[in-house]
Amino acid sequence: MKKINKYKIIRIIAGVVFAISFCCWGYTKLLYLDADVTYKDLAKKAVTVSQQQPEPETAENGEAVQAVPDDPMLDIDREQLLDVNHDYICWLSACGNNISYPVVRGRDNNEYLHRTFFGDNSFVGSIFIDHRCYVEDFFTIIYGHSMKDRTMFRLIADYTNRDMVRKYPYFYIYSGSERQRYEIYSVCDIDARELVTAIGVPDEEQKAQFISQLKEKSLYTVGEEPTTQDKFVSLVTCDVRNDEKRIVVTGIRR
């Protein structure tokens, strides 16, 4: 019986490992592509760029808000989105509409972690609001995965560089027929267990503490100091460099 060359065995094993790795890589790429195409198809059907110029916006203090031409006014077909998923809450547009997704709210924060807006199980998941929050709360948290193909909330991580906030200083939430504009105030890169929260109906002292903690934990802050009369939304995604940390971009409603 011929002696099997050990180097031949090594080459065979290496070839099998490569083939398996290539198949896994290809399958992952297909999942990314499928999710991206599906979400873009939904946006084409349910979202249109309004032909009308947005009405001049007014801040809560009564002052006029300067228009930002890079952020289009969107018309959202809420009924169509609710037909697809009754957990639909609002539509989020950020980074010059490069982030444009429906936002859902599940029974807990695990329900949509790996489930798409269409109910399919996928590591891509959904953009979802913390189940303890509502859009009109003093403080609202919205989560999204940081995908390698730069979809979902991957662009949020770019706010660790101050140039990003100069380029895209606002994000928008479309709730019902209303467009809510949020000016980015704070960017944090913090331990997942240290997320500053003021969920529910905080009193004035808790609101003030939240604002103080937010400023303390920030990599940087932008613009005017907030007050307890403001409303905050934090966009949260993974820090791909450290699994224990989250990038938290917080905007103030203006």
In whole angstroms, what is the distance from residue 154 CA to residue 45 CA? 24
CA distance 150 to 140: 24
Instruction: List CB contacts of 54: < 8 A, sequence separation 6 or more.
Output: 67, 73, 179
- Rounded percentage of the chain residues whose pLDDT exceeds 70: 78
Token pair in block for residue 50? 């309004």
Q: What pLDDT, on a 0 to 100 scale, did the predictor assign at position 165?
A: 95
Q: What is the pLDDT of residues 228-249, one digit of tens each?
A: 999 999 999 999 888 889 999 9
Q: What is the CA radius of gyration of the chain?
A: 22
**Residue of 232, 238, 229, 237 lying closest to 251 (CA atoms):** 232
Q: What is the pLDDT of residue 119?
A: 92
Q: First and final CA of the chain: distance in angstroms?
A: 82
- The pLDDT-based confidence of 50 (bands split at 50, 70, 90) is confident
Query: pLDDT tens, 186-205?
Result: 999 998 777 777 888 899 99
Asked if pLDDT for residue 64 goes beyond 80, the answer is no
Q: Predicted confidence band at 25 (pLDDT cuts at 50, 70, 90)?
A: very low
Residues of the chain by 3-state class (helix, strand, coil), percent to 5? 30, 30, 40
Show the tokens assigned to 55. Answer: 């009405």
Q: State the virtual CA torsion across 248, 249, 250, 251 in degrees, nearest 10.
A: -160
Q: What is the mean pLDDT of residues 58-77?
A: 64
Asked if residues 84 and 117 have their Cβ atoms less than 8 Å apart, the reply is: yes
Q: 201-210: which pairs have CB atoms within 8 A and are 24 or more residues apart?
A: 201/137, 201/138, 202/138, 202/139, 204/228, 207/138, 210/139
**Range scoring the smallest mean pLDDT among 64-68, 87-91, 112-116, 144-148:** 64-68
Domains of the chain: 38-253 (2.40.260.10)
Q: Is 252 helix (H, G, I), strand (E, B) or coil?
A: strand
User: What confidence tens digit (pLDDT) does each residue in 69-122 have?
Assistant: 557 789 999 999 999 999 999 999 999 999 999 999 999 999 999 999 999 898
Rounded mean pLDDT of the chain? 83
pTM of the model: 0.80
What tokens appear for 159 in the block? 């706010």
Residue 4: the pLDDT is 52
The torsion angles phi and psi of 41, rounded to 5 degrees, stand at: -65, -40
User: What percentage of the chain reaches a pLDDT higher than 90?
Assistant: 57
Torsion of CA 105, 85, 156, 93, to 10 degrees: -110
Q: Which phi and psi angles does 140 have, rounded to 5°?
A: -125, 140
